[in-house]
Amino acid sequence: MTKYNHQTKILIAADCIIFGFDGRQLKLLLVQRALEPEAGKWSLVGGFVQPEESLGQAASRVLHKLTGLSDVYLEELSTFSEPTRDPVERTVSVAYFALIDINKYKQQITTDYHAEWFDLNKFPKLIFDHQEMVEKAKARLRYKAAFHPILFELLPAKFTLPQLQSLYEEVYNIEMDKRNFSRKILSMHLLEKLDEKDKENSKKGAWFYKLNKKKYKANFHSVATIIPNPDIYYS
Amino acid sequence: MTKYNHQTKILIAADCIIFGFDGRQLKLLLVQRALEPEAGKWSLVGGFVQPEESLGQAASRVLHKLTGLSDVYLEELSTFSEPTRDPVERTVSVAYFALIDINKYKQQITTDYHAEWFDLNKFPKLIFDHQEMVEKAKARLRYKAAFHPILFELLPAKFTLPQLQSLYEEVYNIEMDKRNFSRKILSMHLLEKLDEKDKENSKKGAWFYKLNKKKYKANFHSVATIIPNPDIYYS
DNA sequence: TTTTTAATTGTCAAAATTACATTTATTTTT
DNA sequence: AAAAATAAATGTAATTTTGACAATTAAAAA
């Protein structure tokens, strides 16, 4: 069959902005780049798209290689395609952002690769335009989480309302009212109270909740204005 | 400098889903494909990314070529990258959706290329995965317009509230209450009433409004739930 | 037993939303 | 010239949602 002759072919990469939450802070997973140039410098997790895979598959593959994890929340963020963004050779990158439960995959990560979790407010200089990707991913996370219940992806299966609230407060860098927060969250009817308490973090202990997976899937699209003035977080 | 050897390079295209509104219906701009294979079949407006341009520039270029228009609302939708999506040769496409004032560019379009506006609910079979792109763009348009004042991009500089309401009703395929609609829209303080009436569409005539560009730009990020139950329109 | 710490829960006022009908301006008809 | 027809403009009351705010409770530590 005819080919599209005289058209320029370009390298395509998938890069992942991987967010985690350790109970206190939002974290970003970075690796030390293996390839020259800039080998040893910190970079997002990424790789070139292979002949037989889609971009989503490439992102999943790269993510799985690093974390051992398969069912990750993964969402296409946007393309980065400035002709000179990679000084070596033109490469268009498609950025994905991922949300994972940091505790679940801690061990696998650190042993296999030169990977490390960094505080999202203080991480090393990144190669190329990866800094820009992170900024865009942060903005998208804030925007999306203001309307959709995606932050659960960052928590373990069992979590408490105070933990959930801390996560929101960390993502938006705001303080929220406990009473209004729990009313709002519970009114979404996505959570089930367990008859077990988390006694680690307080004397009284806080009730554990878990996601009702059925309702979560069914209501995943639900739009709830969990955050006041979501305007600010537009992306 | 070292190159990334042994990696597969891929063709990259930008395809545009171009929406227009003729006062009654949402329209989609399609062209007859010039290249083989499938020459003569209907397709989205698109083209290959050139060596010295970014994807956004490619989309703008393609759009400008067809419509003569430069300051178009253009937003990256997502990538389409199934390895076999283009039977000729592997091509990753980045889809953009565009909103234009249909009347402004009617003439330029039809003369230069084999381009035509189609009713969004009834348009011909498209090549490759372009149908899927259109569906995704529709969903995105609905989602986005439920929160952000982007539908103005589809109207002429002067428009009436009944016209604007018709547009919303067409996009969401719902009927809205006149009183609540105008209250909601006007409360965004983006519109300025002109002292001129549109006498074309009714005996009494409806006041023309225009966007206050300053406020529009400043409040572009504003989140307003113009549509009840925006949940449904998640994308 | 008292103190300390953090979790849980309720109420009231204000704002936003929804549902709903009448009046007004102008043209068309008689 | 008056009456009828058409579509635009406008207001209000009931309900729901939001935002602000403080007292009580459970358990461990002193």
Q: A1 pLDDT exceeds 60?
A: no
Q: Which residues contact A169 (CB under 8 A, 6 or more apart)?
A: A175, A176
- Between A172-181, A224-233, B1-10, B171-180, the lowest mean confidence (pLDDT) is in A224-233
Query: Per mean pLDDT, which range of A53-57, A151-155, A199-203, A223-227 is the poorest?
Result: A223-227
Whether residue A5 lies inside any domain: the answer is no
- Cβ within 8 Å, pair A10-B7: no
Protein-proximal positions, strand C, CB < 7 A: 4-11, 17-21, 24-28
**Distance measured from the CA of protein residue B204 to the C1' of nucleotide C30, in angstroms:** 21
In a domain, A79, yes or no: yes
| Distance (Å, whole) CA B171 – CA B52 | 37
A1 in any annotated domain = no
pLDDT level of residue A105 (50, 70, 90 thresholds):
confident
Burial profile A170-199: b = 16 or more Cβ within 10 angstroms, e = fewer: bbbeeebeeeebbeebeeeebbeeeeeebe
Closest residue, CA to C1' of D7: B202
**Domain of B16?**
11-142
DSSP character at residue B19: E
Closest residue in chain A to residue B77, using alpha carbons only: A78
Which nucleotide is closest to the Cα of B180 by its C1'? C18
Angle at CA of residue A81, ends A77 and A86, nearest 5°? 115
Average pLDDT, chain B: 90
Is the same domain home to B137 and B38? yes
User: Residue B12, class by beta-carbon neighbours within 10 Å (0-12 exposed, 13-18 middle, 19+ buried)?
Assistant: buried
Does the pTM surpass 0.75? The reply is: yes
Residue of A nearest to B90 (CA): A51
Q: Which residue of A has its CA nearest to B52?
A: A83
pLDDT of residue B36: 75
**HSE toward the beta carbon, residue B97, CA cutoff 13 A:** 25
Calpha distance A125→A107 (Å, rounded): 24
Q: What's the CA gap between B74 and A140, in Å, rounded?
A: 18
| Domain presence at residue B174 | yes
Contact state of B87 with A1 under an 8 Å Cβ cutoff = yes
Question: Are A98 and A56 within 8 A, CB to CB?
Answer: no
CA to C1' distance (Å), from B206 to D9 = 9
Q: How many domains does chain B have?
A: 2
Q: Are residues A116 and A155 in the same domain?
A: no
* Claim to verify: residue B154 and residue B39 sit in the same structural domain: no
- Token readout for B176 is 């809205």
CA-closest candidate to residue A220, choices A196, A189, A199: A189
Q: Is the pLDDT of residue B229 over 80?
A: no
Segment B22-27 mean pLDDT: 93
